[in-house]
Amino acid sequence: MQSIRWGIIGCGDVAEIKSGPGFQKALRSELIAVMRRNGGLAKDYAIRHNVQNWYDNAESLINHPGVDAVYIATPPSTHKEYALEVIKAGKPVYIEKPMALNYFECQEIIEAGKKANVPIFTAYYRRALPKFLKIKSMLDNGLIGDIRAINMRLYKQFINKDQQVNFNWRIDPTIAGAGYFFDLGSHMIDLVQFYFGPIDYAKGIAVNQSKFYKVEDIVNAQFSFTNGVQGVGLWCFNTDANFDQTEIIGSNGKISYSYFDNRPIVLVNNDKIQEFNIPNPKYVQLPLIQLIVNELLGNGKSPSTGDSGALTNLILDKVLGRI
């Protein structure tokens, strides 16, 4: 196989900038088909991005003989349905995060993939971004000594109630699985497991304080990794200002960084403070897409798989008290 020819199910906002162009710009990768239930919007995307095939149903895209692998960029409520169809067709599947509505749906996808010998990937693309790989390098090289604890905080300003309720599927639990914690917190929990390995204990308190919508708007979590590192997290989506900071505390210093802001990494050790400003690429999923393409062509491994994506869903469910 000389290249991987991709199809996208759900060519909406995420596929427009974050991911879609990545399939065209990665080496030995092509985007040959897109699908959206609104055929007019699928055709519009195809024309603007020079994609030769467009569809208004997933079955046609999945079974297109030229499509080697499929990216599912729909909301979580349809991830399992589409993933199982792709796996049934014997094609690798790359699933947006969170991987599914809950951990049990993730397990169904993984089991199907194992039976069909089909690889599964999840779109936790921070595992491949230079900024976050720089942090991993600092940790692996022992720049802050032995890791003791992690403190994650994300506060988001509440947007107009009518705008939230009428236009944002992320606060509809039947579509998103939960609220913004699933959408944003999943990235944060996945990344620390990339850094420190599996979380083996997690619990939390999730509350709907503002009563502006049906799902939680504040989540308070406590967790422990198999290697003994301890962690806490607070996700608050009803504040008057935004705040995004994670601190990794070691025996000889600390590292501070943001997940979603463009602020620099701050390293404190040996009584010195250093800052590292590493901007994200224009198409943030491109580095991970390249690693997935490489793996499918027999060269290397993706750092984000179905197994790692499911583990993140497991911790989300534990924090929300579902498991």
Q: Where are the domains of the chain?
A: 4-126+285-303, 130-279
The residue count for the chain? 323
Coil vs helix vs strand at 2: coil
CA distance 144 to 190: 21
- How many other C-beta atoms can be found within 10 angstroms of the C-beta atom of residue 279? 10
Question: Is 85 in a helix, a strand, or coil?
Answer: helix
Between helices 186-196 and 130-140, what is the axis angle to 10°? 40
Find where tokens 């984000």 sit.
304
DSSP 282: S
Domain 130-279 is found in CATH 2.40.128.20: no
Tell me if the domain spanning 4-126+285-303 has CATH number 3.40.50.720: yes
- Where residue 25 falls (left for φ over 0; alpha for ψ -120 to 50; beta otherwise) is alpha
Burial class (CB in 10 A: 0-12, 13-18, 19+), 163: exposed
Cα 1 to Cα 53, 66, 121, 182: the distances in Å are 21, 12, 19, 37
Give the whole-angstrom CA distance, residue 119 versus residue 94. Answer: 9
Q: Please report the DSSP string for 9-74 in residue order.
A: E--SHHHHHTSHHHHHHSTTEEEEEEE-SSHHHHHHHHHHTT-SEEESSHHHHHT-TT--EEEE-S
pLDDT, one tens digit for every residue, the chain (323 residues): 799 999 999 998 899 989 999 999 999 999 999 999 999 999 999 999 999 999 999 999 999 999 999 999 999 999 999 999 999 999 999 999 999 999 999 999 999 999 999 999 999 999 999 999 999 999 999 999 999 999 999 999 876 555 555 568 898 999 999 999 999 999 999 999 999 999 999 999 999 999 888 899 999 999 999 999 999 999 999 998 999 999 999 999 999 999 999 999 999 998 899 999 999 999 999 999 999 999 999 999 999 999 999 999 999 999 999 99
Long-range contacts (CB closer than 8 Å, 24 or more residues apart) made by 89-92 = 89/62, 89/63, 90/116, 90/118, 91/62, 91/67, 91/118, 92/68, 92/118, 92/119, 92/120, 92/121, 92/296
The yes-or-no answer to whether 4-126+285-303 and 130-279 have a common fold is no
DSSP 127: G
Helical segments of 148-281, H only: 161-167, 173-176, 180, 186-196
Task: Tokens for 93, please give them.
Answer: 């599947």
